[in-house]
């Protein structure tokens, strides 16, 4: 694959801070959408970025009106993800904390939701190449004509390894056709 126009001989020649790393629009149901670092020094190698951002519009096939949209890093399925939720549903506000085998991305409409409804969200994964635990801040919006959720999720992946793989999953179910997910890398600018 050729370098994008803003990279010449491996050097960034444009100040654009957000770099498109991948985009998936599902043509059929899928259990997981995976993004993986190129790990080759190219413009798609995640090691050059400060943060990663996922922008998504998605729906699940679960036999319900709701399904959790979750993320796991580097194939880690152990209980390494403390999470904190703040959400609004109808007239109620809710908070919740736990330690999970995944972090939350948001809430998905599912098979019993109105036809063609999807939910929207944005998630940031911070300082993904550092020796810190990796932090997640995610917002999502889901509306089912009179019910739904608006949610703010935080999580920490208790690993000091760089993030090199992201698995996005409709918990226990499938993401449906039409689900659209984009991944961006966010560059820093180190100045003296």
Partner 1 sequence: MAIIEAIATTYLEADAASVTFSSIPTTYEHLQVRGSHRTSAGTSGQPFYIELNATAGTGYSSHGMIGTDTTVSGQPQTGTAAIAIWDGTHGTLVNAADYATIIMDVMDYRNANKNTTVQLFMADAMTLSGASRVTFASGLWDDTAAITQIKFTPSSGNMVRGSEFTLYGLNSS
Nearest to partner 1 of 112, 160 (CB atom): 160
Task: Please report how close the Cβ of residue 154 comes to partner 1 at its closest, in angstroms.
Answer: 3
Q: Which of 64, 100, 63, 88 is nearest to 141 (CA)?
A: 88
78 Cβ contact list (under 8 Å, min separation 6): 101
Query: Torsion-angle region of residue 50: left (phi > 0), alpha (psi -120 to 50) or beta?
Result: alpha
Task: Provide, rounded to whole angstroms, the least separation between the CB of residue 111 and partner 1.
Answer: 29
- Minimum CB separation from partner 1 for residue 117, in Å? 24
Between 38 and 137, name the residue whose CB sits nearer to partner 1.
137
Hey, what long-range contacts does 90-94 have (CB within 8 A, 24 or more apart)? 90/147
- Please state the closest distance from residue 160 (CB atom) to partner 1, in A: 6
> Which residue in this structure is represented by tokens 């050729």?
2
Q: Which residues bind partner 1 (CB under 8 A)?
A: 14-18, 50-51, 82-87, 93-97, 124, 126-127, 130-133, 135, 137, 139, 152-156, 158, 160, 186-191
């Amino acid at each position: 694959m050729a370098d994008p126009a803003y990279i010449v001989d491996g050097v960034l020649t444009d100040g654009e801070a957000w770099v498109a790393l991948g985009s998936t629009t599902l043509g059929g149901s899928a259990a997981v959408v995976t993004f993986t670092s190129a790990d080759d020094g190219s413009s798609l190698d995640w090691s050059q970025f400060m943060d990663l951002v996922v922008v998504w519009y998605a729906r699940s096939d679960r036999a319900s009106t709701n399904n959790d949209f979750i993320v796991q890093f580097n194939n880690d399925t152990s209980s390494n993800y403390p999470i904190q939720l703040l959400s609004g549903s109808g007239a109620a506000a809710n908070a919740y904390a736990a330690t999970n085998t995944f972090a939350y991305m948001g809430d998905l409409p599912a098979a019993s939701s109105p036809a063609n409804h999807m939910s929207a969200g944005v998630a940031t994964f911070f300082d993904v190449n550092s020796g810190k635990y990796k932090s997640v801040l995610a917002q999502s919006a889901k509306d089912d004509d009179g019910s739904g959720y608006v949610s703010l999720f935080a999580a920490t992946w208790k690993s000091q390894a760089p993030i090199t793989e992201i698995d996005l999953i409709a918990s226990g179910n499938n993401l449906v056709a039409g689900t659209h997910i984009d991944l961006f890398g966010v560059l820093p600018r180190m100045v003296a």
